[in-house]
């Protein structure tokens, strides 16, 4: 299942995973602004000695990017909204589990938890240091009800990690575009390349 992966994708974007599909027809100012910043990051990364000047991606820009076609979201996922405070990313999305769970065993007791349409809320610690990003999921709620950690761990181990080895309750990965640091601050993420 892609549910947790879907919720971690926005977190990864905030940490600089700016390699997602783009659509050229979006016209919102925040969307255009983040597109320009992503182009700058790509061009800067191609330099022998990238400019270490920090690049800030604001909540408004990231949310525009997710909701105006910058990221191809999995079927069933919509209304992505991210906020941040120092070291923490708070993500909300609406998830219709039916397309995601298609072909899964409905006899599994967890199937009932991950079926239907739900508002999802994920809180994660996030940071990027020395070119490596770490995202640690703290809590997940479905329709304002906390998902027990054991159920979440079972879900991740059984459905996500076998398909996506880099995804787990704690995910660590190399940041792209020669990004060395990613600081999560209130209302923004600050990226530095070297």
The domain tally of the chain equals: 1
> What does the pLDDT read at residue 21?
37
Closest by CA to 90, choosing from 45, 117, 119, 123, is: 123
Handedness of CA 179, 8, 104, 70 (dihedral sign): negative
Helix (H) or strand (E) holding 160: none
CA nearest to 31, candidates 59, 58, 65:
65
* Cα radius of gyration (the chain): 17
Return the pLDDT at 8: 42
pTM as predicted: 0.81
129 - beta bridge partners? Answer: 132
Q: pLDDT tens per residue, the chain (194 residues)?
A: 444 444 444 444 444 443 343 344 445 899 999 999 999 999 999 999 999 999 999 999 999 999 998 988 878 889 999 999 999 999 999 988 787 667 666 677 766 777 889 999 999 999 999 999 999 999 999 999 999 998 888 878 876 677 678 788 999 999 999 999 999 999 999 999 99
> CA-CA distance, 174 to 191, in Å (whole number)?
14
Closest Cα partner for 114 from 82, 157, 143? 143
Whether 56 contacts 190, CB under 8 Å? yes
Give the range of the structural domain holding residue 26, as residue numbers without chain letter.
3-193
């Amino acid at each position: 299942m892609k549910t947790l992966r879907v919720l971690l994708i926005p977190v990864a974007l905030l940490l600089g995973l700016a390699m997602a599909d783009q659509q050229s027809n979006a016209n919102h100012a925040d969307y255009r602004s983040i597109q320009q910043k992503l182009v700058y990051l790509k061009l800067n990364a191609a330099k022998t000695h990238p400019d270490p000047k920090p690049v800030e991606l604001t909540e408004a820009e990231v949310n525009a990017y997710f909701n105006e076609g910058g990221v191809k979201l999995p079927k069933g996922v919509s209304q992505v909204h991210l906020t941040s405070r120092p070291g923490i990313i708070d993500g909300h999305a609406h998830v219709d589990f039916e397309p995601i769970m298609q072909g899964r065993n409905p006899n599994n007791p967890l199937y009932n938890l991950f079926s239907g349409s739900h508002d999802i809320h994920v809180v994660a610690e996030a940071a990027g240091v020395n070119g490596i990003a770490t995202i640690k999921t703290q809590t997940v709620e479905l329709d304002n009800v906390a998902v027990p950690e054991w159920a979440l761990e079972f879900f991740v181990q059984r459905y996500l990690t076998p398909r996506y080895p880099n995804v787990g309750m704690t995910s660590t990965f190399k940041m792209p575009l020669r990004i060395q640091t990613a600081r999560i601050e209130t209302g923004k993420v600050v990226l530095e390349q070297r």
